[in-house]
Amino acid sequence: MDFFVIDGGRPLRGAVRISGSKNAALPNLISTLMTDDACTIHHVPELRDIRTTVRLLETMGKKVSYARGTAVVEHGSRLKTRAPYDLVKQMRASVLVAGPVLARFGKARVSLPGGCTIGMRPIDIHLEAFKKLGARVSTEHGDVVLDCERLEPGTVRFRFPSVGATENLMMAAAGVKGTTVLKNAAREPEIEDLGTFLTRMGARVDGAGTDTVTIEGTSRLHGAEHSVIADRVETGTFLLAALATKGDVRLIGAKAQHLTALLEAVKRSGATVTELPEGLRVKAKDRPKPVDIHTEPHPGFPTDLQAPWMAYMTLARGKSKVRESVFENRVMHAAELGRMGARIRTGGERAVVEGVPELFGAPIMASDIRAGAALVVAALAAKGQTVIQRVYHIDRGYEKLEKKLRALGAQIRRAH
Ligand code: UD1
C-alpha cells in the first residue's frame, strides 16, 4: 500500500491550478444515465472516486471514454437498473444512480452504501423523498429496492439539507414530466453546478444553490456538454497548507464566492487573502491567531475543511474550538495530529485545540479523505519527516497531490 514521505518545514510558494470538483463531477457523470445521447463533461479530476464512477456507469451499460480530464459518456448496451455492492461499498455517492434510473425505468436497486467511516451516513432522507414522489421502497438481501408505475412530480421538504438527497431528487425530478419543488434543499455550489448541467440536458432548474429548487422535468432529456466547477475543498486544503507553512500561494481557478465561511475565518486568523482575476492569493508570515469554527451546511463552514482547519489551528497562538455538526465521528484526525505534537482534547463532536509553536514529524495514518488531507497539511508544516500510511483515502479526493505540492516547493514523495 502506498504511503507519503514528507519532509516538512518548508513554506509553500508559487501557483497551483485547482482541479475540477470531485463532488460536482460525480452527480454530473451519473446524470448521463438519463439519456442515450452522448454527454461530454470537461474538467473532471483524475481520481479514484471518478474511476469508480466510470466503472459504475460501464457496469450499468454505458460506454465511457475518459482522458485528459474529459469524459464522454455514450450509449453502450441496454441499461441495467442495479448498482452492485462491490462498487457502492467503495463509494457512497453510488446511491445517486437511484434517482436517474428510477425516473427513467420506474425501478432501481442499489446496495446499501458503505463509503467513508465518518458516522452513520444513512440514506433515509433520499428514500423518504422518493416515497413522496410515489416510489415504493423495500430492502432485499442488503439492497434498497425502489419501484413505481411512474414517478410523479410533487413537493418535497427535506428534514435536513442533505447534499446527496438534494442531488438524487433533482436528477429524478429532471426526468419526470411536471414541476417538482424541493424545500430545505442543500445550497452547496455543487448543487448549482448540477442544476446547470440538468438544464443543459433539457430540464428547467430554478433556484439551485438556494433552499428551494424548482425542477421542470421532461421524459426527453438529451445529450449535453459541460465543464465542472473548481474544487472548493481542494482549494481550501492548498490554502490551509500554504498558511500552515507560512507560505505565499496563488490558487488558480479558485472561486472566493464558494468559500466565504473559510475565507472569513482565515482573515480572522491574521493571514492575507487577495482576490485575483485568475483566482486567489493567500499569504501568512506568522503563526495564526486562534479562531473558533463550527461546521454547517453551505454557506456555513464546510465539514470537508474541518480537519485541514484543525491542522492549521494546531499552530495557533492560543486556544481555539472546533465543533463538527454535520457528521458524527469526524474528529479522528485529532489523535494522529497529537502524535505530531499537537495538543487537542476531543469530546463527542467537539475539539479544543491548544496551539503549539511547532509540530514534529511522526509516523501517522489517514482514516478518511479529509482527515488524510489534514495530516498532509500538518506534515508540510512540521519539523522533520512524517510518513503517512493509507494514502488510498487521500487518493479518493485529491488529483496529483504530491506533484502539485512539489511544484510549490514541498518535499513529498510517494512510496510503497
Ligand atoms: C456530500 C459530500 C461530502 C460532504 C457532505 C456534506 C459528495 C460526494 N460528498 O456527502 O464530501 O462532506 O456532502 O457537505 O458530494 N444524512 C442522513 N440521512 C440521509 C442523508 C444524510 O441522516 O438520507 C446525514 C448524514 O449522515 C450526515 C449529514 O446528513 O450526517 C450530511 O450528509 P449529506 O449532506 O447527505 O452528505 P453526502 O451527500 O453524503
CATH number at residue 88: 3.65.10.10
Contact 189, 207 (CB under 8 A): no
Task: Using the 3D structure, point to which of 199, 223, 247 is the last residue of a domain.
Answer: 223
For residues 94-117, give the mean pLDDT.
84
Same domain membership, residue 7 and residue 31: no
Same domain membership, residue 321 and residue 299: yes
CA of 286 to the centre of ligand 1 (A): 35
> How does pLDDT run across 351-389, given as a tens digit for each residue?
999 999 999 999 999 999 999 999 999 999 999 999 999
Asked if the model's pLDDT at residue 247 lies above 90, the reply is yes
Domain that includes residue 170, residue range: 22-223
Same domain membership, residue 88 and residue 194: yes
> How does pLDDT run across 132-145, given as a tens digit for each residue?
999 999 988 878 89
Same domain membership, residue 262 and residue 116: no
Same domain membership, residue 281 and residue 136: no
Q: Which atom of ligand 1 is nearest to the CA of 26?
A: 8
Domain count, the chain: 2
Task: Using the 3D structure, point to which of 188, 223, 258 is the last residue of a domain.
Answer: 223
For residues 78-103, give the mean pLDDT.
89
In which band, very low, low, confident or very high, does the pLDDT at 93 lie, cut at 50, 70 and 90? confident
Q: Which residues pair with 212 in a beta bridge?
A: 183
**For a substitution probing ligand 1, which of 163, 304, 329 has the most ligand atoms within 8 Å of its CB?**
163
Measured between alpha carbons, how far is residue 162 from residues 35, 94, 182, 186, 262 in Å?
25, 15, 11, 6, 20
CA of 93 to the centre of ligand 1 (A): 9
> How does pLDDT run across 329-355, given as a tens digit for each residue?
888 899 999 999 999 999 989 999 999
Q: Residue 337 has what pLDDT?
A: 97
% pLDDT > 90, the chain: 89
CA of 162 to the centre of ligand 1 (A): 5
Q: Residue 85 has what pLDDT?
A: 83
Active site residue 39: no
Same domain membership, residue 247 and residue 108: no
Whole-prediction pTM value? 0.96
Asked if the model's pLDDT at residue 121 lies above 90, the reply is no
Same domain membership, residue 193 and residue 276: no
Same domain membership, residue 181 and residue 43: yes
Same domain membership, residue 394 and residue 295: yes
CA of 320 to the centre of ligand 1 (A): 26
Same domain membership, residue 139 and residue 235: no
The whole-angstrom separation of Cα 65 and Cα 328 is: 37
Same domain membership, residue 89 and residue 57: yes
CA-closest residue to ligand 1 atom 1: 163
Same domain membership, residue 186 and residue 243: no
Given 57, 73, 83, 116, which residue is catalytic? 116
Q: For the chain, give the mean pLDDT.
A: 95
Least confident of 50-64, 108-122, 262-276, 386-400: 108-122
Compute and round to an integer the Cα radius of gyration of the chain.
21
Task: Using the 3D structure, point to which of 178, 200, 223 is the last residue of a domain.
Answer: 223
Question: What strand order describes the sheet that includes 13-17?
Answer: 13-17, 248-252, 279-283, 272-276
234 lines ligand 1 (CB under 6 A): no
For residues 305-318, give the mean pLDDT.
98
